[in-house]
Each structure stands twice: as structure tokens, then as C-alpha cells.
Amino acid sequence: MPDRDDHFLERSEPIVETGALAGFFKVLMYAVIGLAAGALLFAILLAVVRWARNHEKKEKKEKKKDEKKQDEAKPEAAAEAVLALAPEGWEELAARLAAEGKHRDAVRAVYHAVLSGLHRRQEIDYRVTLSNWDYVAMMPQGVRRGAFAEATRSFDLVWYGLRSCGEAEYGASAKLAREILGSGDAAA
């Protein structure tokens, strides 16, 4: 079988033509790869933009929630700064808290009304660093000092949890506040 046509391996002509058709397929292949890469980049960019928008919306939503909480907590936040409100403001807050059934907080607001009023009358020098009993010691001797000591004792017992607090305790605190501040309608 030596006559067999084994010389096809020795051909000098290429089996596949490298003419215009091969060039077209080469360009087409690069175009498809380029389009695929472009589509992938576009998809990544789109995902990043969506993530950024969602993240921004989430931050705005959380910020609104925080602002709403701050707005709702303003009276209670003001409770941290005794001099932030005049005695009348504390009395109004106390009445509102009592109407909501928050008697413990109402007693605190009444006590803050007393502190605020005594400070404004220059009978005590309110400073955050002082204790309630320091203020009692600052008060001039007299009936009002005794009432203020009683109000301080009552507040401490209610606020620091040694005594339960209901409408009666709030009423007693409001009565003492009227006596101390000398107004018939204070913290009623």
C-alpha cells in the first residue's frame, strides 16, 4: 500500500483559507468578546448604582427615624436640662405626663419645676454637678426649706425606685411644688 496518497501531509497549501472570511471571523470574535465585556461592566456599574441608591435611601430613612425619635423625646430630653424650661414649662410637661399615666416622669418634671423656679429666684444655684441634697442645704432656713426637703426626699424615693408612683404621689408632689413656689396653680 505504498501507493496510497500519503503526500497530503506534505501539501504546501493551507487547508483553511486565510482570506477575507477568516479576517471577518476574527473581527467578529473580538466584537463578541468586547460586547460581552461591555455588558459585564454595565451590569456591574448598574449593580453599584442600585446599591448606592438603596444605601442612600436606607440612610435617609434611618435619619428620619432618628429625627422622629428626637422630636418625640424632646420633653424627656429637656428633662435632662433643668434650666431648659421655666417652671411653668415643667408644670405643663408634668400635667401632660400625668394625663398619659406616666406618673413617675410627671413627679420628676414637678421636681424640675421646683429646681428651675428656685434657681430663677436665686434661692439656689443650680449646677449639674450638685446633688438634690446640696440644693436643700443651699436654701435659706424656713418653712419653704422644710417643704423643699420633703419634696426632695419624695422625689428621690420615687425616682430612684424605692417607692411606687401613681396619681396620689404625683398629686402630693404637685401640692408641695405649689407650696414651695408659692403659686396656687403650679403643677396642678
Within this chain, do residues 21 and 9 fall inside the same structural domain, yes or no? yes
Q: What is the domain extent for residue 99?
A: 75-181
Give the span between the Cα atoms of 174 and 168, in whole angstroms: 10
Within this chain, do residues 42 and 123 fall inside the same structural domain, yes or no? no
Give the span between the Cα atoms of 119 and 117, in whole angstroms: 5
For the whole prediction, is pTM greater than 0.75?
Answer: no
**Number of compact structural domains in the chain:** 2
User: What's the confidence (pLDDT) of residue 116?
Assistant: 92
Amino acid at 43: A
User: What's the confidence (pLDDT) of residue 102?
Assistant: 92
pLDDT along the chain (188 residues), means of 10: 58 60 84 93 94 88 74 50 88 94 92 92 88 91 88 91 84 92 53
C-alpha cell at 4: 496510497
